[in-house]
Amino acid sequence: MIDWGAFVVVFIAAFLGATVIVSTYALGIRLLTISGRTPIVTPAEFTDAITVISPAEAKAAAKKAAKAAKKSPLTDGQKQAAFIGAWSCFVFSALSVLVGIFLIVPALHRFLGIA
């Protein structure tokens, strides 16, 4: 017989875990942008596919990001706090993923003597 209660508990835990990790990462991207350090992705060329963006578009995006950073109403201290908060979010997201992998893979438990 299927234990539906356990199934629902696992589903809710997985859903909440994924939501927390994705939300924390998104908050980190937002704080990184607020701090004036907008992540610009350089053009990627694929061997058998199209170019994602042209170099001219990448240059225009970098120029637009620099212009937006100059117009920021935040003080340097607030920008630094946003930068620290962004990296804190990234570290939390990465650690959450690593803990999840650790919990899923029983072979890793032997390294800490938990098994």
Residue pLDDT, tens place only, 11-40: 999 999 999 999 999 999 999 988 888 777
User: What pTM does this model have?
Assistant: 0.70
The span from the CA of 23 to the CA of 89, in Å, is 9
The span from the CA of 84 to the CA of 12, in Å, is 31
In this predicted structure, what is the pLDDT of residue 46? 58
Give the count of alpha carbons within 13 A of 68, CB side only.
13
The mean pLDDT of 91-107, rounded to a whole number, is 91
Q: What angle do CA 82, 84, 90 make, to 5 degrees?
A: 100
pLDDT confidence tier of residue 45, bands split at 50, 70 and 90: low
Would you say residue 52 has pLDDT above 70? no
* Tokens 């060329």 belong to residue: 45
Would you say residue 10 has pLDDT above 60? yes
The mean pLDDT of 96-100, rounded to a whole number, is 92
The span from the CA of 77 to the CA of 53, in Å, is 34
pLDDT confidence tier of residue 9, bands split at 50, 70 and 90: very high
30-34, 50-54, 96-100, 110-114: least confidently modelled range: 50-54
Spatial contact of 63 and 78, defined as CB atoms under 8 Å apart = no
In this predicted structure, what is the pLDDT of residue 115? 59
